[in-house]
């Protein structure tokens, strides 16, 4: 009910519903953040392909590991998360997902890729959390 009578003092705090919304700002950090998330999911799928014998266990891990990570990220870390989580909870979930993807690379014999991914993802996560805190 946006047409409820209000005192004149309340009009400044009420946004105009007909005003156009400003588009989301896309910059280098948000692009890097998206690439890190996509690479993390692809890393988990690649780990399922390399680490498990094909067909049955591999298919479960190729699909299941990234799907599980995406669902956990959506419920606890996403900006549109249905579950309200504090900063500590969001940080724990993000660190766990980053370590899982980096550990996947280390476990299949590519420790340099895993460590570079962890460092880039950590920097991207710190920048993203600093932006959210503003």
Q: What is the pLDDT of residues 64-99, one digit of tens each?
A: 999 999 999 999 988 888 888 888 888 899 999 999
How much is the pTM? 0.76
Cβ 41 vs Cβ 66: under 8 Å: yes
Q: What is the pLDDT of residues 12-29, one digit of tens each?
A: 566 666 777 777 777 888
Task: Name the band, by pLDDT with cuts 50, 70 and 90, for residue 113.
Answer: very high
Say how far apart CA 100 and CA 114 lie, in whole Å. 10
């Amino acid at each position: 009910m946006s047409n409820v009578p209000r005192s004149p003092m309340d009009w400044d705090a009420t946004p105009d519903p007909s005003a156009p919304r400003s588009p989301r700002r896309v910059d280098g950090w948000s692009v890097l953040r998206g690439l890190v998330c996509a690479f993390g999911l692809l890393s988990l799928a690649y780990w399922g392909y390399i680490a498990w014998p094909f067909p049955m266990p591999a298919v479960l891990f190729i699909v299941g590991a990234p799907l599980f990570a995406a669902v956990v990220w959506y419920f606890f870390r996403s900006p549109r998360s249905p579950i309200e989580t504090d900063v500590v909870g969001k940080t724990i979930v993000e660190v766990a997902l980053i370590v899982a993807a980096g550990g996947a690379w280390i476990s299949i014999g590519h420790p340099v890729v895993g460590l570079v991914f962890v460092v880039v993802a950590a920097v991207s996560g710190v920048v993203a959390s600093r932006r959210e805190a503003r």
